[in-house]
Structure 1
Amino acid sequence: MLNRRALTLGAMTATTALLPHASRAQSDYPNKALRLVVPFPAGGATDVVARQYAQALGLQLGREVVVENKAGASGAIGTADVARSRPDGYSLIFGTATTHALHNVVAKVQLYDAVKDFTPIGLIGAAPLVFVANARLPGDLRSILAQAKANPGTMSYGSPGQGTFMHLAAERLKQAADGAMITHVPYRGSGPAMNDLLGGHIALMVDTVATALPQHRSGSVRILAIASEQRSPLAPEIPTIDEAMGMTGFAAALWNVVAVPAGTPPEIVERLNAATLRIVADPAFIAKMSELGVEAARPASPSQARDYIIAEQARWKPVMEKAGIVAE
């Protein structure tokens, strides 16, 4: 029978033998293609921004970054997939306010913990939301909300889904407008909601400025206001929510965060963060984001990105509780 000293020496030898391999695996990272999971359908606003980031990250790292769309459950399916992946730096999630601020606040069945199951790499940008009306609906935002309050249940609005960031932003506006009674109609994405808005089946919807702007320019819909502190350079004629409603401090932007599974080696996290900081500071990337209606993020460390996620969860929880929102 082996004695305790022999077992200890054997364990030390095995551990020592593994260390150079682990060190090499981290020092030559990345030595293969990376996978960037977008937890929403291809062609949507999040997907478009993610592909721009993936291309830029690939150039920074010298390796291909493959975008994989894995939609479902308001982004929870794809996000949970990355949370369960090996923490080796080769699987990344392109998360949003919906997946990383709201899932653990509104989801009845939680598939992951956005803070504990991930290590943030950095913030990418934020797309201010807009409130859009059917072209045949008269009035500005304030008069429409007053009409909805005076005639409860006669008006409806669409969002990309129950418990999404757009859903909560609309409920927050209703609360700020002294409880305007507008019925929420959840869709499977912004595309179907826009189709029903164009068809007159709903009166209003919440979207991002870049995706709603073409329809606005054509006269098919009307963007009533943008949920930002300043007017958008893409459409400077559109007032902010504060201007339209005579209030202060209403802002809602669909932000993006890149993260890896918890337990990813710090050296890999640092390399990915350094590459991301260079990307978000690149004038060409900033210009492209502006064209897409996205405000590039300020440089953020992994710990700063984590703090931002926690703060956003705390900011939107009271809105959810007051509205009684639960996502299945």
Structure 2
Amino acid sequence: MKFLKSLPIVLGLLAMPVAVQAQDAAAYPERPVKVIVPFPPGGATDIVGREISDRLARALGQPFVVENRSGASGNIGMEAAARAAPDGYTLVVGAPQTLTINPQLFKSNPFNPQKELDPIVVVATVPNVLIVNPKLPISSVKDLISYSKARPGKVNYGSSSIGGTPHLSSELFKSMTGTDIMHIPYRGSSPALTDLMGGQIDIMFDNLPAALPHIKSGRVKALAVTTKQRSDAAPELPTMDEAGVPGFESQGWFSLLAPAGTPPAILEKINAEVNKILATDTFKERLANVGAQPKGGSIADFRELLNTETQRWSEVIRFADIKVE
């Protein structure tokens, strides 16, 4: 009898954490939220991160303040987020490199992003685009292949960092075309693009949002996109498959995550708000203008993508024998 009398109290105590979480989520956010971008300003990760942060600030009534913390191929910013308090007031913008590629390349990493960060939502996907210095005598992918084969080891390519999808796209291109092109890694997309326009490097793959303004201005020449379908932002560009490299495919995507242990109710609230934002015509148009497409979906969808992408890039890394010392 005593047990039965105390049962409602026990059940009430068990339910308290859920009730507290619901209250926290209802009031969230009550102060500014920091959004870490683990790469320098100007790249695609930064562009998409700032766009969604701005919309979340408008929707939720508190600033979502972007902080660029670059270095170590994105690992510095990702680790800073993983070590932050799991209260919803630190988020991080994730990408294939930082979530599915780096853990396979940096064996001595002191943290595992897929275990120490909670996924929230995939915001957008973007194709990579193959671009060249406009002064080179190259107008197509086939031209580039011929030009490179005539100069083995003399043509170089830049990348935003070691292990990013632009880097792996370049290595996949080399493997599929039999070309010998030298890699010059940079700390971010913006400095690599600057050197491409200045003629210090010859070619590079980059996420379309970062490259698109320079393509439109004529400061770089675009040859093809890396997705199966042409991009709505640049429909005149062929796919790599159409341009003469059958079966070539890669893309980038950008997401939001929080430190592991962040209350699920807060994660679900952010997920729901982002999905609402992605459904608006104004945000769709804004993403299209920078070469991206809205993604969205549930937290479970994001977890499934992480598993799929980890396997995809594992095969490319082994195929290209990419190592990080």
TM-score, normalised relative to structure 2? 0.88
Structure 2 vs 1, CA of residues 193 and 86 (structure 1 numbering), >3 Å: closer, same or farther?
A: same
Q: Secondary structure at the match of 1:311?
A: helix
Match of 2:252 among 230, 251, 254: 254
Structure 2 vs 1, CA of residues 22 and 296 (structure 1 numbering), >3 Å: closer, same or farther?
A: closer
1:128-143 correspondence runs (5 A)? 128-139=127-138, 140-143=140-143
State the partner residue of 2:4.
Answer: none
State the partner residue of 2:146.
Answer: 146
Percent pairwise identity: 38
Structure 2 vs 1, CA of residues 206 and 22 (structure 1 numbering), >3 Å: closer, same or farther?
A: closer
Shift in Å at residue 142 of structure 1?
1.9
Which amino acid counterpart does residue 102 of structure 1 have in structure 2? I
CA–CA distance in 1 between the matches of 2:110 and 2:201? Answer: 31
Which amino acid counterpart does residue 284 of structure 1 have in structure 2? T
Q: Secondary structure at the match of 2:65?
A: strand
State the partner residue of 2:163.
Answer: 163
Q: Secondary structure at the match of 2:45?
A: helix
Q: Is 1:302–2:299 an aligned residue pair?
A: yes
State the partner residue of 1:8.
Answer: none
State the partner residue of 1:274.
Answer: 272
CA–CA distance in 2 between the matches of 1:107 and 1:145? Answer: 31
Shift in Å at residue 171 of structure 1?
0.7
State the partner residue of 2:216.
Answer: 217
State the partner residue of 1:283.
Answer: 281
1:40-189 correspondence runs (5 A)? 40-139=39-138, 140-177=140-177, 179-189=178-188
Which amino acid counterpart does residue 195 of structure 1 have in structure 2? T
Q: Secondary structure at the match of 1:225?
A: strand
CA–CA distance in 1 between the matches of 2:58 and 2:269? Answer: 13
Which amino acid counterpart does residue 142 of structure 2 have in structure 1? R
- Please say if residues 159 and 187 of structure 1, whose CA atoms lie closer than 8 Å, have aligned partners that are also in contact: yes
Structure 2 vs 1, CA of residues 62 and 205 (structure 1 numbering), >3 Å: closer, same or farther?
A: same
User: Mind listing any 5+ residue stretches in structure 1 that lack a counterpart?
Assistant: 1-11
Q: Secondary structure at the match of 1:245?
A: coil
Structure 2 vs 1, CA of residues 219 and 292 (structure 1 numbering), >3 Å: closer, same or farther?
A: closer
Structure 2 vs 1, CA of residues 26 and 165 (structure 1 numbering), >3 Å: closer, same or farther?
A: same
State the partner residue of 1:319.
Answer: 316
Shift in Å at residue 245 of structure 1?
1.3
- Please say if residues 212 and 290 of structure 2, whose CA atoms lie closer than 8 Å, have aligned partners that are also in contact: no
- Please say if residues 108 and 326 of structure 1, whose CA atoms lie closer than 8 Å, have aligned partners that are also in contact: no
State the partner residue of 1:9.
Answer: none
Which amino acid counterpart does residue 63 of structure 1 have in structure 2? Q
Shift in Å at residue 121 of structure 1?
0.7
Shift in Å at residue 78 of structure 1?
0.8
Q: Secondary structure at the match of 2:212?
A: helix
CA–CA distance in 1 between the matches of 2:45 and 2:200? Answer: 25
Structure 2 vs 1, CA of residues 136 and 257 (structure 1 numbering), >3 Å: closer, same or farther?
A: same
RMSD: 2.2
State the partner residue of 1:3.
Answer: none
CA–CA distance in 2 between the matches of 1:210 and 1:28? Answer: 34
State the partner residue of 1:7.
Answer: none
CA–CA distance in 1 between the matches of 2:198 and 2:22? Answer: 59
Structure 2 vs 1, CA of residues 309 and 169 (structure 1 numbering), >3 Å: closer, same or farther?
A: same
Structure 2 vs 1, CA of residues 327 and 283 (structure 1 numbering), >3 Å: closer, same or farther?
A: farther
Q: How many pairs does the alignment contain?
A: 311
Shift in Å at residue 28 of structure 1?
2.6
- Please say if residues 157 and 203 of structure 1, whose CA atoms lie closer than 8 Å, have aligned partners that are also in contact: yes
Structure 2 vs 1, CA of residues 283 and 111 (structure 1 numbering), >3 Å: closer, same or farther?
A: farther
Which amino acid counterpart does residue 173 of structure 2 have in structure 1? L
Q: Secondary structure at the match of 1:162?
A: coil
CA–CA distance in 1 between the matches of 2:278 and 2:114? Answer: 22
Shift in Å at residue 154 of structure 1?
1.7
- Please say if residues 162 and 326 of structure 1, whose CA atoms lie closer than 8 Å, have aligned partners that are also in contact: no
- Please say if residues 224 and 240 of structure 2, whose CA atoms lie closer than 8 Å, have aligned partners that are also in contact: yes
Shift in Å at residue 100 of structure 1?
1.1
Structure 2 vs 1, CA of residues 232 and 118 (structure 1 numbering), >3 Å: closer, same or farther?
A: same
User: Mind listing any 5+ residue stretches in structure 2 that lack a counterpart?
Assistant: 1-9
